[in-house]
Amino acid sequence: MAKSSEKSLLIVESPTKVQTLKKIVGKNFIVKASVGHLKDLPKKKLGVDVDNDFAPEYITIRGKGKILSELKTAAKKSRDIYLAPDPDREGEAIANHICNEVSRFNKGKVYRVLFNEITKKAVKEAIEHPTELNVNKVNAQQARRIL
């Protein structure tokens, strides 16, 4: 059995997928869920820096601090991180926010993995052929959210 420091971390969006994915990826992975978005623009102020090219000022969503803390703890124990939120604009934004929060804690690389079904074949294929974050999708979600 691999040491915990040798495990990889797989982060999905939905907690209902965690148990199935644990069975598929096995003991070399820690599987966690973000339970949707972890970051958002503040509700009580503009949330963009007008003096800095309208850069968004994201904050942790109320009630998501514990989940974020758990993801950071898991990242510290992992070698590589595989971000697997849904393969859509919102999922890409979730993956981006998670990456920004946890990447400094792991010992290896951070990958984006995409699968449209939770089958052994689809998940293994995604992990064997990871991609990078799709900046265009992240920007599209960010623009939609700011407006």
What pTM, to 2 d.p., does this model score? Answer: 0.86
Q: What is the DSSP code (8-state) at residue 131?
A: B
Q: How many CA atoms lie within 13 A of 91 on its CB side?
A: 16
What are the domain boundaries of the chain?
Answer: 4-36+66-146
Which CATH architecture does the domain made up of 4-36+66-146 adopt?
3-Layer(aba) Sandwich (3.40)
Query: Along the 147 residues of the chain, how does pLDDT read in single tens digits?
Result: 344 458 999 999 999 999 999 999 999 999 999 999 999 988 888 788 778 877 888 999 999 999 999 999 999 999 999 999 998 888 999 999 999 999 888 889 999 999 999 999 999 999 999 998 878 787 778 777 776
